[in-house]
């Protein structure tokens, strides 16, 4: 029972991190209708940038800030240099561009920082807990607290601020948003800033959680999060969160607890296809 | 029922809570030009889309020549002999004008597997396509790339495509929209000629003068409901119609 | 002829056959498929298993392999093609991962060790290797190119093309979107299956990692580079991307970066590919666009 509980907690943590990455993807899709596969590369860069800042300053706060700033710049650069000019083409064109960007960035990380797994020996300044006989490490606590804070902040921005309103208007219809006086291109860039910052946070959290930073750490999340936004309903943020949590828990329990030898990536896609068969718009999508 | 070409009964389309088309009954008689009028948002294009198979009805039925066609997808409705144009023109831009019509000529083959492998630009098909182009007055532009054509000619091209498919009934969605004065007169003549050739026409139009002059009968929709039907003179004097157009929407020219 | 060149050349021809199939799906019908390597793998494994475990010859197995690739294409394609474009991209990625996982984890397919000892192709009692096998592949390539050419001239081909240009207008003239997307998809998967079968008998040893997702990206890059929807684009793309690794041996470390950067530049500035309309090559050779049709 204890093992189950332990794995459940791990699963929730995993799901929370997936949620952070998937949210950025859902955000971009909601506004540009582009599958931003390169988002996972931003996540990887976030981990590296955070590690770099940490190893040079010893401050986790600066690591997070540095990662967020660097990734925001990267995200906006991708949007302005590649996606926006390609919007007029059929969707597979920006998608191929996104895949190319992701692979290029992975390679650049490999060439610059080396192909070896780097460690991220930081401890997050959160307390440890004992709960039901299981120790919740400080890292785990940190994951819960930080992801809840980020999700809460996002929800607040989205529903209670003018920015959120503008973003929802732009994601409905860019020309109409323009006509209403919203600078839709600025909104798009802001969406990328938000999404990329969150990806950076997720990357750093994962780097610390597993104590591993390596160039291809984004590959698996790249495709898994695609399946997740489909399951959640393309463009639906609550759906993305729910789907991510479900997958995180399911994966960890099935593989860590029940010991079923399913390949992790395939599991996400199998789940996706199963959900699509049942509801073709995803869990919370609209037709 | 036998002298009705198309019959819609209690046809409805709801989008969530919005009743875009609400329990509309409509008959189209063979050989007539029927106009569908109504202010913006009245549900005219949605109604078209219900008939041509772009939308599935939420309720009600559509019968064409005695057979039910509601709920059929667009390509099957086309195969039954109903052609349509689009409010925003959709030419196959990188094909020539002739080729655009040739694509439509494949209607008898697209449903079969065996006949798919024949060459699509055979002499007989090309001749037939040219004939259709002559009917709409585009024969000289046959070799021009469709994407380069001005709006007036594009609307004719849409009609040409619809004629190939719709040998009984064609649906014209705001074909006069955006046309210049001379083009409007030419199009009116074309539509009359089409009707004289035996094809029934259902059209959506905002241009009042054209509609009143061209149509044998008119049906008026407002907020998804049918509020009037009859001959043009009757419609012009109908209080409900006047109210719908000049009422809360303001007297703005329906754009 | 130099044995080394023949080796490279054969692989290029095999890839070309496979990406001609992808070109029908993406270039002619405008459907995004990011799982083409899965069908390449299905063809390879099917031929490998039929010839090693069932004792069939390459020629006896080939019709089965091609039909099987087509059948699985229908089974996987039918639900996928009904979905919106974005879903399709993700679904095909998923197909790639799932098929690869099957090859890797189901013991019948040899697991991580793959399948070895695949026999050579025998024609009129002669084991084909080197130049002879190269010519056989070339023959298949010619057949595949002919089928593509015929397709663009047929009613089926123009229906796919119209569907790609304007789906709702195509439907309004009687073209069933699902049926024709499926037709293109199945033609594509059958060609991939053929390529896979040739690959198996060429390498004589295959394993699941040969058919993973990056391979699908490579295939896509070939037609992006060469020109989607053109008749010679896939061949050009296969040749260029096949030769480049050899040219870049000295800077092998930067190879992948070069590829991906090249793909990025191509898709950003020349999405129609080198042979596509409006490309630099077009303007340079002052080629007249032939009415816009593929």
- Tell me what ipTM this predicted complex has: 0.88
The 10s digit of each residue's pLDDT in B132-144 is 999 999 999 999 9
Q: C209, exposed or middle or buried, with CB in 10 Å at 0-12, 13-18, 19+? A: middle
Contact criterion met (CB < 8 Å) for A269 and C85: no
> A60 to chain C, minimum CA–CA distance in Å?
31
Rounding to the nearest 10 degrees, give the CA dihedral for residues A154, A158, A159, A162.
Answer: 130
Residue B252: predicted pLDDT: 46
Q: Are C180 and C198 in contact (CB under 8 A)?
A: no
> C129 to chain A, minimum CA–CA distance in Å?
36
Is residue C148 scored above 80 in pLDDT? yes
Residue B140 DSSP one-character state: G
Contact criterion met (CB < 8 Å) for A280 and C83: yes
**70-89 in C: which are within 8 Å (CB) of B?**
none
Contact criterion met (CB < 8 Å) for C177 and B102: no
Residue C289: predicted pLDDT: 39
Residues A221-225, mean pLDDT to the nearest whole number: 85
Residue B254: predicted pLDDT: 46
Q: CA-to-CA distance for C21 and C33, rounded, in angstroms?
A: 11
Q: Are A83 and A185 in contact (CB under 8 A)?
A: no
Q: B67, exposed or middle or buried, with CB in 10 Å at 0-12, 13-18, 19+? A: exposed
C172 to chain B, any CB pair closer than 8 A? The answer is yes
Residues B82-102, mean pLDDT to the nearest whole number: 93
Which residue from A minimizes the CA distance to C85?
A91
The 10s digit of each residue's pLDDT in B197-228 is 999 999 998 888 888 889 999 999 988 999 99
The chains in contact with chain A, meaning 3 or more Cβ pairs closer than 8 Å, are C
Q: How many residues does chain C have?
A: 294
Nearest to A92 among C26, C98, C101 (CB): C26
> A100 to chain C, minimum CA–CA distance in Å?
5
Q: CA-to-CA distance for B103 and B129, rounded, in angstroms?
A: 9
Q: Tally the domains of chain B.
A: 1
Residue A260: predicted pLDDT: 58
Residues C161-178, mean pLDDT to the nearest whole number: 92
The 10s digit of each residue's pLDDT in A17-30 is 999 999 888 888 88
Is residue C285 scored above 70 in pLDDT? no
Nearest to C90 among A97, A230, A261 (CB): A230
Residues A36-45, mean pLDDT to the nearest whole number: 94
Residue A126: predicted pLDDT: 80
User: Closest Cα to residue C3, out of C120, C130, C129?
Assistant: C130
Measured from the Cβ of residue C291, the count of other Cβ atoms closer than 10 Å reads 12
Give the best residue of B116, B158, B167 to mutate against chain C (max C CB count within 10 A): B116
CATH of the domain at B14: 3.40.50.300
Confidence tier at A262 by pLDDT (50, 70, 90): low
| Contacts of B22 by beta carbon, 8 Å cutoff, 6+ apart | B12, B43, B223, B224, B225
Which residue from B minimizes the CA distance to C174?
B75
B78 to chain C, any CB pair closer than 8 A? The answer is yes
Look at C86 and C78; give whichever has higher pLDDT. C78
Q: CA-to-CA distance for A195 and A159, rounded, in angstroms?
A: 17
Confidence tier at B187 by pLDDT (50, 70, 90): very high
Contact criterion met (CB < 8 Å) for C90 and A272: yes
How is residue A15 written in tokens? 């799901």
Is residue B131 scored above 90 in pLDDT? yes
Residues C71-79, mean pLDDT to the nearest whole number: 90
Which residue from C minimizes the CA distance to B79?
C174
C263 to chain B, any CB pair closer than 8 A? The answer is no
Which residue from B minimizes the CA distance to C153?
B119
Is residue B255 scored above 60 in pLDDT? no
C5 to chain B, any CB pair closer than 8 A? The answer is no
Chain C CB contacts of A81 under 8 Å are 268
Q: HSE-up of B28 (CA within 13 Å, CB side)? A: 28
Strand order through the sheet with B18-28: B18-28, B6-15, B59-64, B67-68
The 10s digit of each residue's pLDDT in A86-124 is 988 877 788 889 999 999 999 999 999 888 888 888 877
Look at C278 and B37; give whichever has higher pLDDT. B37
Nearest to C260 among A95, A107, A270 (CB): A107
Confidence tier at B2 by pLDDT (50, 70, 90): low
Which domain covers residue B126, as residue numbers?
6-246
Nearest to A104 among C90, C213, C257 (CB): C257
Contact criterion met (CB < 8 Å) for C172 and B165: yes
Look at B167 and C172; give whichever has higher pLDDT. C172
The fraction of chain C above a pLDDT of 90, given in percent, is 47
Residue B87 DSSP one-character state: S
Is residue B172 scored above 80 in pLDDT? yes
Phi, then psi, of C273 in degrees rounded to 5: 85, 175
Rounding to the nearest 10 degrees, give the CA dihedral for residues B212, B213, B215, B216.
Answer: 100
The fraction of chain B above a pLDDT of 70, given in percent, is 96
How is residue A206 written in tokens? 């994962």
Is residue B86 scored above 90 in pLDDT? yes
Q: CA-to-CA distance for A168 and A181, rounded, in angstroms?
A: 14
Contact criterion met (CB < 8 Å) for C168 and B104: no
Give the best residue of C271, C276, C279 to mutate against chain A (max A CB count within 10 A): C271
Which residue from C minimizes the CA distance to A92?
C32
Q: Which residues of B213-227 are buried (b: 16+ CB within 10 A; e: fewer)?
A: ebbebbbbbbebbbb
| Partners of B220 in the β-ladder | B37, B228
- Centroid of chain to Cα B236: 23
Is residue A239 scored above 60 in pLDDT? yes
Chain C CB contacts of B121 under 8 Å are 153
Which residue from C minimizes the CA distance to B93?
C165
Residues A6-22, mean pLDDT to the nearest whole number: 88
Is residue A176 scored above 90 in pLDDT? no
Alpha-carbon distances, residue C131 vs A78, C8, C127, C137, C181 (angstroms): 46, 11, 11, 10, 37
3-state secondary structure of A183: coil
Average pLDDT, chain B: 89
Chain C CB contacts of A230 under 8 Å are 87, 90
Which of A56-65, A164-173, C113-122 is most confident?
A: A56-65
Residue A287: predicted pLDDT: 47
Q: Which residues of B157-179 are buried (b: 16+ CB within 10 A; e: fewer)?
A: bbbbbbbbbbebbbbbbbbbbeb
User: Closest Cα to residue B21, out of B42, B38, B35, B51?
Assistant: B42
Residues B154-179, mean pLDDT to the nearest whole number: 93
Q: CA-to-CA distance for B216 and A235, rounded, in angstroms?
A: 48
Residues B69-75, mean pLDDT to the nearest whole number: 93
Q: CA-to-CA distance for B206 and A17, rounded, in angstroms?
A: 54
Residue C140: predicted pLDDT: 96
Chain B CB contacts of C177 under 8 Å are 75
- Residue B19, in any domain of the structure: yes
Contact criterion met (CB < 8 Å) for A111 and C253: yes
Q: Write out chain C in H/E/C secondary structure.
A: CCHHHHHHHHHHHHHHHHHHHHHHHHHHCCCCCCCHHHHHHHHHHHHHHHHHCCCCCHHHHHHHHHHHHHHHHHHHHHHHHCCCHHHHHHHHHHHHHHHHHHHHHCHHHCHHHCEECCCCCEECCEECCCHHHHHHHHHHHHHHHHHHHHHHHEHHHHHHHHHHHCHHHHHHCCCCHHHHHHHHHHHHHHHHHHHHHHHHHHHCEECHHHHCHHHHHHHHHHHHHHCCCCCCHHHHHHHHHHHHHHHCHHHHHHHHHHHHHHHHHHHHHCCCCCCCCCCHHHHHHCCCCCCCCC
Helices (H), chain A: 2-32, 39-57, 60-78, 84-86, 92-113, 138-160, 162-172, 174-179, 184-210, 219-232, 237-251, 264-278
Residue B216: predicted pLDDT: 93
Residue C287: predicted pLDDT: 42
Count how many pairs of residues, chain A against chain C, have C-beta atoms within 8 Å: 103
Measured from the Cβ of residue B249, the count of other Cβ atoms closer than 10 Å reads 14
Chain C CB contacts of A276 under 8 Å are 79, 83, 87, 91
Q: B253, exposed or middle or buried, with CB in 10 Å at 0-12, 13-18, 19+? A: exposed
- Residue B1, in any domain of the structure: no
Average pLDDT, chain C: 87
Q: Identify the helix (H) or strand (E) that includes residue B155.
A: helix B151-165
Contact criterion met (CB < 8 Å) for A227 and C224: no
Contact criterion met (CB < 8 Å) for C159 and B116: yes
Nearest to C87 among A100, A230, A270 (CB): A230
Q: Are C181 and C89 in contact (CB under 8 A)?
A: no
Q: What is the pTM of this model?
A: 0.86
- Residue B253, in any domain of the structure: no
Is residue A5 scored above 60 in pLDDT? yes
Q: Identify the helix (H) or strand (E) that includes residue B243.
A: helix B239-246
């Amino acid at each position: 029972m204890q093992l189950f509980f332990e794995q459940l907690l791990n699963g929730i943590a995993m799901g929370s991190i997936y949620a952070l990455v998937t949210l950025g993807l859902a955000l971009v899709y909601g506004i540009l209708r582009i599958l931003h596969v390169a988002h996972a590369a931003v996540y990887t860069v976030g981990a590296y940038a955070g590690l770099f800042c940490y190893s040079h300053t010893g401050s986790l706060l600066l690591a997070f800030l540095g990662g967020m700033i660097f990734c925001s710049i990267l995200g906006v650069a991708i949007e302005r240099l590649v996606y926006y000019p390609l919007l007029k083409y059929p969707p597979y064109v920006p998608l191929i561009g996104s895949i190319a960007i992701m692979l290029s960035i992975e390679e650049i990380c490999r060439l610059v920082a080396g192909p070896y797994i780097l460690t991220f020996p930081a401890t997050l300044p959160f307390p440890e807990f004992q709960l039901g006989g299981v120790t919740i490490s400080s890292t785990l606590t940190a994951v819960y607290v930080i992801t809840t804070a980020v999700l809460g902040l996002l929800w607040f921005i989205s529903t209670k601020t003018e920015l959120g309103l503008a973003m929802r208007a732009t994601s409905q219809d860019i020309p109409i948003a323009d006509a209403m006086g919203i600078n839709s291109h600025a909104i798009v860039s802001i969406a990328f800033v938000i999404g990329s910052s969150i990806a950076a946070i997720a990357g750093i959290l994962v780097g610390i959680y597993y104590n591993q930073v390596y160039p291809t750490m984004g590959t698996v999340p790249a495709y898994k999060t695609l399946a997740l936004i489909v399951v959640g309903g393309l463009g639906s943020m609550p759906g993305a969160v729910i789907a991510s949590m479900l997958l995180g828990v399911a994966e960890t329990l099935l593989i860590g607890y029940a010991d079923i030898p399913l390949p992790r990536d395939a599991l996400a896609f199998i789940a996706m296809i199963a959900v699509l068969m049942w509801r073709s718009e995803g869990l919370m999508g609209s037709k | 029922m036998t002298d009705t070409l198309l019959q819609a009964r209690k046809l409805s389309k709801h989008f969530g809570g919005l009743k875009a088309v609400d329990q509309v009954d409509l008959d189209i008689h063979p050989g007539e030009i029927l106009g569908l009028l109504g202010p913006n948002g009245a549900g005219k294009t949605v109604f078209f889309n219900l008939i041509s198979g772009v939308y599935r009805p939420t309720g009600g039925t559509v019968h064409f020549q005695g057979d039910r066609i509601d709920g059929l997808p667009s390509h099957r409705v086309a195969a039954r002999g109903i052609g349509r144009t689009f409010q925003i023109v959709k030419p196959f831009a990188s094909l020539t004008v002739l080729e655009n019509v040739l694509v439509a000529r494949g209607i008898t083959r697209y449903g079969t597997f065996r006949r798919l492998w024949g060459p699509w630009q055979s002499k007989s098909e090309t001749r037939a396509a040219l004939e259709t182009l002559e009917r709409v007055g585009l024969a000289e532009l046959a070799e021009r790339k469709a994407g380069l054509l001005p709006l007036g000619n594009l609307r004719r091209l849409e009609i040409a495509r619809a004629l190939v498919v719709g040998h009984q009934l064609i649906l014209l969605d705001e074909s006069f929209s955006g046309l210049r004065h001379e083009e409007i007169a030419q199009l009116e003549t074309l539509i009359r000629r089409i009707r004289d050739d035996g094809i029934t026409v259902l059209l959506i139009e905002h241009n009042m003068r054209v509609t009143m002059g061209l149509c044998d009968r008119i049906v008026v929709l407002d907020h998804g409901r049918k509020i009037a039907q009859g001959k043009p003179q009757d419609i012009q004097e109908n209080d409900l119609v006047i109210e719908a157009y000049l009422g809360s929407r303001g007297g703005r020219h329906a754009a | 002829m130099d044995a080394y060149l023949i080796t490279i050349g054969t692989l290029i021809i095999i890839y070309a056959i496979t990406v001609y199939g992808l070109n029908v799906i993406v270039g002619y019908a405008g459907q995004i498929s990011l799982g083409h390597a899965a069908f390449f793998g299905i063809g390879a494994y099917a031929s490998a298993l039929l010839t090693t475990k069932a004792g069939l010859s390459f020629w006896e197995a080939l019709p089965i392999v091609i039909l099987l690739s087509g059948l699985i294409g229908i089974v996987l394609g039918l639900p996928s093609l009904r979905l919106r474009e974005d879903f399709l991209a993700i679904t095909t990625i998923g197909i790639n991962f799932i098929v690869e996982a099957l090859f890797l984890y189901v013991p019948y397919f040899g697991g991580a060790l793959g399948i070895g000892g695949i026999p050579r192709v025998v024609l009129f009692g002669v084991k084909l290797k080197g130049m002879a096998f190269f010519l056989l592949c070339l023959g298949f390539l010619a057949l595949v190119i002919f089928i593509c050419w015929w397709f663009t001239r047929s009613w089926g081909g123009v229906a796919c093309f119209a569907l790609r240009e304007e789906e709702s207008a195509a439907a309004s003239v009687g073209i069933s979107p699902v049926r024709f997307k499926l037709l293109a998809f199945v033609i594509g998967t059958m060609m991939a299956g053929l390529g896979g079968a040739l690959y198996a008998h060429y390498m004589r040893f295959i394993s699941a990692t040969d058919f993973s997702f990056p391979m699908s990206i490579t295939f896509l890059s070939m037609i992006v580079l060469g020109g989607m929807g053109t008749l010679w684009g896939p061949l050009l793309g296969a040749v260029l991307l096949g030769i480049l690794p050899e040219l870049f041996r000295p800077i092998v470390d930067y190879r992948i970066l070069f590829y991906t950067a090249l793909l990025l530049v191509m898709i950003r500035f020349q999405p129609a590919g080198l042979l596509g309309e409006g490309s630099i090559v077009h303007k340079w050779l002052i080629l007249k666009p032939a009415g816009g049709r593929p």
